[in-house]
């Protein structure tokens, strides 16, 4: 079953060391792990099915697409702190995106969460998205390939997943994701990942070399990966 109300957190917390590494390493390894938000009424859980790596300014060459590219600012300060913390920022005046800080304290670098698969609390997620309760389990229309409903409409996209889990900068930026008392946690429930799709990042369009860097990772063939296109790339197996 999927989407029912749950109060128990699945699996176990990840270790700090998991995130004290290059985002390029962390991003693919994060696939299959779960993001859990503890609310007053229960727990919203989504499996991470799509990520992107953003490299810190200490890297050579540095990553011009990263928010940390020009060094610490009030907004991105979490990125320069310890690993395993949430960096939530507002974009286009209406949306939020969520990242997880990587590297040791003092170095920036992060992983952007681009898509989840609802695991628990799917109905509440659908309501948070402004869709009807039950939208996550409602069938889509395969004939036209247009996803009017279904889990894809609920948590597929970096700002959609924030809306689904009710994540905001005010409430969640800077939270430690590896603390059992935290309202937002990343956990491992033993889900085994097979094939990983690797492509360039989405929305990085400026004329620089970083446009083509293969830093987007997704569970190959998973229906909740964002975008109907952008699915071409090499496929790898994690070692």
Interaction site with DNA (CB under 7 A): 52, 54, 65-68, 70, 73-76, 89-95, 97, 99, 110, 112, 129, 144-146, 157-160, 169, 201-204, 206, 226, 228-229
- State the Cα–Cα distance between residues 26 and 17, nearest whole angstrom: 10
Q: Of the two residues 11 and 64, which places its CB atom closer to DNA in the complex?
A: 64
Q: Environment class of residue 190 by beta-carbon count within 10 Å: exposed (0-12), middle (13-18) or buried (19+)?
A: exposed
Q: How far is the CB of 34 from DNA (least distance, A)?
A: 19
Token pair of 35 as six digits: 């993001």
Among the listed residues 170, 203, 163, the one whose alpha carbon sits nearest the alpha carbon of residue 75: 170
Q: How far is the CB of 70 from DNA (least distance, A)?
A: 4
Q: How far is the CB of 133 from DNA (least distance, A)?
A: 16
Q: Within 13 Å and on the Cβ side, how many CA atoms surround 115?
A: 23
Q: Of the two residues 3 and 157, which places its CB atom closer to DNA in the complex?
A: 157
Q: How far is the CB of 82 from DNA (least distance, A)?
A: 17
Give SS3 for 189.
coil
Query: CA of 186: how far to CAs of 9, 15, 34, 142, 162, in Å?
Result: 10, 10, 6, 32, 14
Q: Of the two residues 112 and 175, which places its CB atom closer to DNA in the complex?
A: 112
- State the Cα–Cα distance between residues 19 and 16, nearest whole angstrom: 6
Q: How far is the CB of 131 from DNA (least distance, A)?
A: 8
Q: Of the two residues 11 and 166, which places its CB atom closer to DNA in the complex?
A: 166
- State the Cα–Cα distance between residues 189 and 184, nearest whole angstrom: 15
Q: Of the two residues 52 and 176, which places its CB atom closer to DNA in the complex?
A: 52
- State the Cα–Cα distance between residues 92 and 23, nearest whole angstrom: 25
Place of tokens 């992107």: 52
Q: Of the two residues 13 and 135, which places its CB atom closer to DNA in the complex?
A: 135
Token pair of 109 as six digits: 């670098």
Q: How far is the CB of 99 from DNA (least distance, A)?
A: 4
């Amino acid at each position: 079953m999927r989407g029912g109300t749950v109060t128990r957190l699945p699996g176990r917390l990840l270790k700090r060391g998991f995130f004290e590494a290059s985002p390029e390493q962390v991003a693919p390894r994060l696939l299959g792990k779960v993001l859990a938000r503890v609310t007053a009424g229960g727990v919203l859980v989504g499996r991470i099915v799509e990520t992107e790596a953003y490299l810190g300014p200490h890297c050579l060459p540095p990553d011009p697409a990263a928010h940390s590219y020009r060094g610490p600012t009030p907004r991105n300060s979490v990125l320069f702190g310890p690993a395993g913390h949430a960096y939530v920022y507002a974009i286009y005046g209406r949306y939020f995106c969520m990242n997880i800080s990587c590297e040791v304290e003092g170095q920036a670098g992060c992983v952007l969460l681009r898509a989840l698969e609802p695991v628990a609390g799917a109905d509440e997620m659908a309501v948070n998205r402004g869709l009807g309760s039950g939208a996550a389990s409602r069938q889509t229309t395969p004939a036209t390939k247009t996803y009017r409903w279904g889990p894809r409409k609920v948590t597929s996209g970096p700002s959609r997943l924030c809306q689904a889990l009710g994540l905001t900068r005010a409430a969640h930026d800077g939270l430690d994701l590896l603390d059992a008392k935290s309202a937002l946690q990343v956990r491992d429930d033993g889900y085994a990942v097979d094939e990983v799709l690797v492509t360039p990042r989405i929305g990085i369009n400026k004329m620089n070399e970083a446009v083509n860097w293969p830093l987007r990772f997704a569970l190959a063939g998973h229906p909740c990966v964002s975008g109907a296109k952008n699915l071409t790339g090499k496929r790898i197996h994690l070692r």
